[in-house]
Amino acid sequence: MPPFDENKEKKIILSAYSDLLRSCRSNTTVAERKQIRKAFEMAADAHKEMRRKSGEPYILHPLAVAKIVSKELGLGTTSIIAALLHDVVEDTDISLKDLEMEFGKTVAKIVDGLTKISEFSEQTVSKQAENFKKMLLTMADDVRVVLIKIADRLHNMRTLGSMAKEKQLKICSETSYVYAPLAHRLGLFNIKSELEDLSLKYTQPEIYKDIEMKLADSKKARDRFIRYVTDPVKKQLDQMGFSYQIKARMKSVYSIRQKIIKQNISFDQVYDIFAIRIILDAPIDTEKADCLRVYSLITDLYTPNPKRTRDWITVPKSNGYESIHTTVMTPKGRWVEVQIRSKRMDEVAEKGLAAHWKYKDTGAAAADRAFEDWLNKVRQVLEDPSPNALEFIDDFKTNLFAHDIFVFTPKGDLITMPQGTTALDFAFEIHTQIGMKCIGAKINHKLVPLSHVLHTGDQVEILTSNIQEPSYDWLNFVKTHRAKSNIKNFLKEKAQELSTRGHEKLLAILRQLKVEMDEHLLLFLQNRLGTTTTLEFYQKLSEGQITPEDIKKSIKQRGKNKKEISTKATENFEAFINSNKGVNDDLLVLDDTISRLEYRLASCCHPIPGDNIFGFIGTDYIEVHRVNCDHAPSLLAKFGYKVVKSKWGSSQEILFLVGIRVEGIDEIGIIQGITKVVTSDFKINMRSMKIFSHDGTFDGTIFLYAKDTSIINQIIRKLMQVKGVHHAERVDAEEM
C-alpha cells in the first residue's frame, strides 16, 4: 500500500477518532470524553513515526481496537482508554508509571497485562504461551484485560491480508487454538464466529470462498423459506400480545465446514444453515415464563425433535448464555432450529461478559452464578505455581474451554463439570480429601471405576477409604486442573520423602564399603542401574527396587573397568538448516531456497505435492505437515519458533499413498466402473480397495499412489461421473 500524503493521513485519523467518539457518546460524560481525547493524543504522539505492514499510520490500529471495545463489546471509558494505549509501553518510550500518573492505577494495570513479555529465562519456552499466561494472570483481577486483547486480535485478523503468508498461518493458528475458544467462553459468540471464519479464510481460502459462494447462491430460496416458517409464528405472537423481534441467524462459514467434515456430508445436506431467533421484550421477572409460553406456541405449530431441545434458561451455560433451543419439522419436510430468548438474554449472548456486568444486579441470578463459577475455575488454574507455560495452556484449554456437563450429588445438588471428566475428577470437585481417598463411585446407583467418564444427568456417589492414596496412574485419566494439581502435589511430596530416605540409605551403604560419595559416582550408579534422574534412583533405592547388593556389584564393576561418562551435545539443528541453504533438492524448499535435508511426511495428515505445507523442526529432521492438519493450530500456537516456511519442489519420481472415499447406489458393474477410472483412465496403481454394500447402497475406500493433488482432484471428478457414484472425496489422514 503506497504511503498517504500528510493531509490525507490527518483526515483519516481524525475520521477514525470521530467514529470512536460517536460509538461511546451515549455511555460517557463530557469529563470522560476529555480523558479519552487525552489518551488519543498521547497514543497518536507516541506512535507518530510508526506504520503498520499495510503502510497506514499505526495509530489507526489502537483507534480501531478502542472502537471494537466500545461498540461491539459495550465496555466503558477505562477500557476505551486502555485500548487506545495498549501498545505504547511495549513499542514507545512511555512507561507504566507515566500512564499511572495520567490515567490512574487501573488503566496502568490493564495495559501492563496487555504488554508482551520481552525477556525469557528459558529459550525453549514458547513465547506465545508465556504471554498468554501473563495476560490471564492479570485477568484474575480484571477481566477487561482479556476483552481488550480479544478486540486487539479481532482487528489484527480483520487486517491480516497485508501480512506475509507464514505470519498469517501463525496468527491464524494462535487465534483458532486459543482466542476463538476464549471468546466463546466469555460469551462473545459473534466475535468467536468471526475469528474462526477469518482463520479459515487465510488457512484454506479455496474452501472458504466455495462455501461463501454457495451461501450467496442459496440466499433467495432461504429467505422465502424463512418467511414461510415465521409468518404463522408472527400471527400467533401478535394475538398473544407479545412485543418481539424475529431474526434469522446464519451459521458461520467455519461452523458449516466443521459440520461437513464431522458428519461427512455435502453442503446441500447441512439442514441447519440458519436458525430462527425469537427475541421477546419481556421484564426479568416474567421472561422465563414468557419464553416457555412461546416454546409451547412453536411446538403447537410444528413438530419438535425431542433429542434436539435444550433449555439453557433453567440451567444457563457457564459463560452466562441463556436461551431455549428446539429443532422442529416444517410441513415442507425440512428441519429448522428455533431459538427463544428475552432481549436481556440476547444482549448477553451478543456482547458476552460486558452485558453480564450490565445486568449483574438485575436479578438474573442463575446466569450470574454460572459465570462467577467459571471465573473461580480460572483463578484456580492461575493459582498453580507451576512454571511450565505449555502445560498451563493445555490445562487451560482442557478445563476452561471444554463444553459443560451437569451432574448431581446424592442429595440432588447440581455440579457443572467440563465434558470428558471422570468420577475421580468429580470427587476432587466436591472436596480435595474426598478425591485423595476415593476408591470408586456409584453412578445412578451402579458401581463404576474411578476412570468412568461422566455424562449430563448422572447422579454420582463417591466411595472412599482411609487407606487409599493417589498413584501415578490417576494422572492418565483425570481431566480437571484441580484433580491434576492435587495429585501431582501429593506425588511430589511423597517422591521427596522417598528421595530423602533413599539418599540416607545410599550413604549408609557407601559407609559400609568405605567409598566416598561424589557426583561422578552418583551419575555412574544412576546410569548403571537404569534410572534417568537422581530422584528416580533414590526413589527406587528407598522402595527396594534397587537393592544394596545392586549398589555393591556396580561399584565393584566400576573399579574393574572405569569408563568416562559423557553426554554428547545435541547438534543445533536450526544452525544446520541455515548452513545448508542453496543446495539443490527435488522435494522440500525452505526459506525460499532449496535445501537437501532429512525430512518426514507427517503421519497425522499425509501431505502430498500440491498441498499447502509447513515444516516443523524436530531433533534431527523436519516433519512436513499440511496447513489444514488437525495438529497444525497446536504446533503453530505453542512452538511457532520451530516452524519453517516450506513448499514443494519438482517431484516427478515420488509417489504418495492417498485414500479416496466413494459412496453411492449399489448397481451392477459399479466396482468395475470405479477401477476402470483409476487403472485404465489414469494408469495409476491401486494399493487396495474396500467396498461395503448394504440395503442397496455402498461405501468404501480406494488406496492408491499418486504424485500430487491435481491428479487426485481429476480422479475424484472422473469418479463422480461413474453411474451410481454419488460422492467421492479424499479421506482424512486418521482413516488411512
Does 638 reside within a domain? yes
Amino acid (one-letter) located at 90: E
Q: In this structure, are 228 and 197 located in the same domain?
A: no
Grid look-up 536450526 returns 574
Quote the domain boundaries for residue 636: 573-648
User: What is the CB neighbour count within 10 angstroms for residue 646?
Assistant: 22
Distance from chain centroid for Cα 632? 11
Question: How sure is the predictor about 506, in pLDDT bands with cuts at 50, 70 and 90?
Answer: confident
Flag the least confident range among 51-55, 357-361, 426-430.
Answer: 357-361
Residue 391, pLDDT score = 55
Q: What is the pLDDT of residue 303?
A: 92
**CA gap 409, 443 in Å, rounded:** 10
Domain-ending residue, one of 167, 188, 205:
205
CB 251 within 8 A of CB 223: no
pLDDT score recorded for residue 392 = 53
Task: Residue 187: name the closest of 49, 3, 319 by CA.
Answer: 319
Do 621 and 708 belong together in one domain?
no
Sheet with strand 460-464: strands edge to edge: 446-448, 438-443, 460-464
Specify whether 12 is located in the same domain as 126.
yes
pLDDT class for 362, splitting at 50, 70, 90?
very low
Per residue in 94-115, is it b (16+ CB within 10 Å) or e — as a string?
bebebbbebbeebbbbbbbbbb
Q: What percent of the chain has pLDDT over 70?
A: 79
Rounded to whole angstroms, the Cα distance separating 135 from 116 reads: 8
Report the run of H or E that residue 256 belongs to, with start and end: helix 253-263
Strand residues in 187-251 grouped as ranges (E): 244-250
Same domain flag for 259 and 178: no
Which grid coordinates are listed for 601? 511426511
Quick: pLDDT tens for 251-284: 899 999 998 988 888 888 887 888 999 999 999 8
Under the banding of pLDDT at 50, 70 and 90, the label for residue 563 is very low
Higher pLDDT, 591 or 379: 379
Q: Are residues 179 and 228 in the same domain?
A: no
- Model pLDDT, residue 650: 56
- Residue keyed to cell 432461504: 222
Q: What is the pLDDT of residue 579?
A: 40
Q: Which residues participate in catalysis according to the annotation?
A: 90-91
What was the pLDDT predicted at 541?
Answer: 85
Site of grid cell 471428566: 421
Cβ–Cβ < 8 Å for 128, 638? yes
- Kindly state whether residue 399 falls inside one of the protein's structural domains: no
Is the pLDDT at 121 greater than 50? The verdict is no
Same domain, 223 and 356: yes
Strand bridging mode 335-342 / 310-311? unpaired
Residue 346 resides in a domain: yes
Residue 456: inside a domain: no
426 within some domain:
no
- Which of 482-491, 533-542, 659-668 bottoms out in mean pLDDT, i.e. has the lowest? 533-542
Q: What is the CATH number of the domain that holds 295?
A: 3.30.460.10
> Quick check: is 375 in a domain?
no
Q: Give the chain's domain count.
A: 5
Q: Are residues 174 and 27 in the same domain?
A: yes
pLDDT band, residue 467 (cuts 50/70/90): confident
Cβ-based neighbours of 206, under 8 Å, separated by 6 or more? none
Q: Is the pLDDT of residue 244 over 90?
A: yes
Residues 317 and 180 in one domain: no
Range in 138-142, 222-226, 563-567, 624-628 with the lowest mean pLDDT: 563-567
- pLDDT for 6-55, tens place per residue? 788 889 999 999 999 999 888 889 999 999 999 999 999 999 889 888 88
For residues 23 and 441, give the distance between their C-alpha atoms in angstroms, rounded to a whole number. 55
DSSP string spanning 381-444?
HHH-----HHHHHHHHHHHHSSPEEEEE-TT--EEEEETT-BHHHHHHHH-HHHHHTEEEEEET
Strands 274-280 and 335-342: parallel
Residue 387 counted as domain residue:
no
Range with lowest mean pLDDT among 33-42, 143-152, 283-292, 531-540 = 531-540
Beta-sheet pairing, 438-443 with 599-601 = unpaired
- 254 lies in the same domain as 310: yes
**Domain membership flag for residue 142:** yes
Query: Higher model confidence: residue 180 or residue 647?
Result: 180
Could you tell me if 52 and 201 lie in one domain? yes
Per-residue pLDDT, 117: 47
Domain endpoint, select from 205, 228, 256: 205
Q: Would the pLDDT of 372 be above 90?
A: no
Looking at every residue in the chain, the average pLDDT score rounds to 80
Q: Does pLDDT of 116 surpass 90?
A: no
Condensed to tens digits (0 to 9), the pLDDT of residues 207-227 reads 999 999 999 998 898 999 999
> Domain boundary residue among 648, 681, 710?
648
Residue 209 half-sphere exposure toward CB, CA atoms < 13 A? 5
Reply yes or no on whether the pLDDT at 733 is more than 90: no
pTM above 0.85, yes or no: no
Contacts of residue 717, Cβ cutoff 8 Å, sequence gap at least 6: none
Give me the mean pLDDT over the 98-112 stretch.
91
pLDDT of residue 444: 86
Same domain, 725 and 590: no
pLDDT in tens, 160-211: 988 888 888 888 988 888 788 888 877 788 899 999 999 999 999 999 999 9
SS3 471: coil
Whether residue 111 is found in the same domain as residue 237 = no
